[in-house]
Each structure stands twice: as C-alpha cells, then as structure tokens.
Amino acid sequence: MHNSSKEIDRMRPRETYNKSLDLKKKSAIKFFETYNKQFVNVNCPACGSEGVDFFVKYGFRHKTCDNCFTFWCSPRPTEDLLSHFYATSEAAKYWTKLLIETDNERKSLQYEPRVQHIIDLLNDDYSFDPRLAVDLGAGSGAFSLALLNKNYFDNILAVDIDEDCCKVCKSSGLKTKRGSAEDLDNSTFGEANSDLSFR
C-alpha cells in the first residue's frame, strides 16, 4: 500500500503541495495568535483520560493518552472557531482546491487500495456486519465514492466541516453532513447506528 515518489507527486504535485504547507503554517500561527484565549481544554476523545503533554506545533499543544495511545490537541479551538477557520482560511481553501484537482489520481493510487484493505480486514471478523461507513473529513468525497463503488456498505455518509467540501460531496451524489465527529449522534445514523466504520 506504499506509494512511490512519482505516484505521490501525481496526487499532490510537489510545488503545489509545498505552497499548501507554507499557507497552513502561516494560517495556523495567525489563527492561534488571534484566538488561543478562546480555546477549551479537552480530555482524550477516545477514553476520557486527562493525558500528558506530547508536543507543541505552531503554538497548539498536543497530548497523548497512556491508556489508548490516542493523541489530540488541547486546549483546542471550539467548533465555531474551527468552522470560522475553514470558512475564511486561505490555506483551507487552497487545500480543498488541490484535493479536487487531484481527485482521479488519489482515487486510483490511494483510496481504492485503502478501501480494499479495510474490506479485507472487516471480512476477517465474522462477528462484524457493517451497514454504514462514515467518512470523517471527507474532503472532495473521493474516498467515500471509492467505498460506494465497492457496494460493501449499505450506506455511506460523507462528513466534513468545510462548506465547499460538502458541496462537492453532494454534487457527487453522496449523503453529506457538514460538521465534525462531535456533531454525529444516533439520529444521524438512523437504524444503522449500531454498526459503524470510521475512517
């Protein structure tokens, strides 16, 4: 499942990717300096433990959990602040544009092999009968479409916090929800809420 350097360049052209990294750094630093006093402390999103300090990047502090080995940002932006960032950040817009432009390459080189790997893993667990796959951070929806094309799950839900990404997903015929993992509850999934697969 490892891609060669040439394949990676096809999915994210080097010059374009380097520009996106530069924009991300500048946007992140500006965002942190402007809004960090409004950030909130959070425990491990997987098991609820307090965790310990792990690393700092662009001012954002990250923690790691000794219980489940999850790492996360804390203090972190609120949902409203994140929505504001994705709606106004030049970096977020540029990355979305890059994802859309390289959709076909990503689908064949990255997403389709990953989807097949997921299905192979699920097939090894005979007690698991998945009906719904939720693609968190769906971006352009290419991964969701790769899932859909396999006809393995009964339903696919593409979730992204960025409005432009959601529009692209909807235009591809995907069931789409704007938001993050914290916006998902039983009402989102309906009768399929007991069997979920998250990416």
Q: Which two tokens stand for residue 136?
A: 């968190």
User: According to the model, what pLDDT value does residue 3 have?
Assistant: 54
- Element of type H or E holding 153: none
Do residues 88 and 77 make contact, with C-beta atoms less than 8 angstroms apart?
no
What the chain holds in terms of domains, given with CATH numbers, is: 1-38+91-199 (3.40.50), 40-76 (no CATH)
Q: Which helix (H) or strand (E) holds 173?
A: none
With a cut of 90, say whether residue 98 has pLDDT above it.
no
| Range in 48-57, 90-99, 154-163 the model is least confident about | 90-99
pLDDT, tens digit, 9 for 90 and up, residues 106-146: 666 678 888 999 899 888 877 777 788 999 989 888 899 99
Judge whether 60 and 28 are in contact, CB under 8 Å.
Answer: yes
**What is residue 198's predicted lDDT score, i.e. its pLDDT?**
44
- What is the C-alpha to C-alpha distance for residues 119 and 154, in angstroms, rounded to an integer? 13
Taking alpha carbons only, the member of 183, 166, 184 closest to residue 175 is 166
Question: How many Cα neighbours within 13 Å face the side chain of 40?
Answer: 9
Mean pLDDT of 43-67: 94
Q: What is the pLDDT of residues 59-92, one digit of tens each?
A: 999 999 999 999 999 999 998 898 889 888 888 8
pTM of the complete model beyond 0.95: no
pLDDT confidence bin for 195, thresholds 50/70/90: very low
Backbone angles phi, psi at 28, to 5 degrees: -65, -45
Helix (H, G, I), strand (E, B) or coil at 12: coil
Residue 73 belongs to what H/E stretch?
strand 71-73
How much of the chain exceeds pLDDT 70, in percent? 83
Distance between first and last Cα of the chain = 16
